[in-house]
Amino acid sequence: QLQLQESGPGLVKPSETLSLTCTVSGGSISTNNYYWGWIRQPPGKGLEWIGMKYYSGSTYYNPSLKSRVTISVDMSKSQFSLNLKSVTAADTAVYYCVRNWGLATAGGLNWFDPWGQGTLVTVSS
C-alpha cells in the first residue's frame, strides 16, 4: 500500500524559503499514471491546492502561488519536494503531500489519494 510522509522544518522565518520533502514508500514514483503534489490547510481553515508534477516533467501550479512555488521530483530517492519562497505569516499551514490519480491518463477524471499525514509549518520570526 502506497504511503506518503512529509518532512521538513516546522518553523520558517518570514521572507525565507519553505522547503518540504515527501517520501514515497510502497510504490514507484515513476509510475505512468500519477502526478505528485501538495495541498495546504491554514489552522482552522479549508484546503488549498498548491500544485503538482509528473515524474517526467509536466507541472501545474495554483495561479495565486505560481510565482513562488517549485515542485520537483527525485526518482532516485522516491521523493518529491516543495519549495515556497518569500513566505509570510499567511503561509502558516499544515502541508500535505498527495498523489493525483487519473490526470496523467489522457487528462481524465482524477482525484487525490492517498494523502500524507501532514506537517505543520509556522512562519514566524
Interacting residues toward other proteins by CB under 8 A: 46-49, 60, 62-64, 96, 102-103, 107, 109-118
Nearer to other proteins, 10 or 63 (CB): 63
Beta strand residue intervals within the chain, DSSP E = 3-7, 11-12, 18-25, 34-41, 48-54, 59-61, 69-74, 79-84, 93-101, 111-115, 119-123
d(CA 26, CA 3): 6
Q: Write down the least CB distance from residue 46 to other proteins, Å.
A: 5
Peptide linkage before 42 cis (omega within 30 of 0): no
d(CA 26, CA 34): 14
Nearer to other proteins, 4 or 123 (CB): 4
Q: Write down the least CB distance from residue 100 to other proteins, Å.
A: 8
Q: Write down the least CB distance from residue 107 to other proteins, Å.
A: 7
Q: In angstroms, what is the C-alpha Rg of the chain?
A: 14
Q: Write down the least CB distance from residue 90 to other proteins, Å.
A: 17
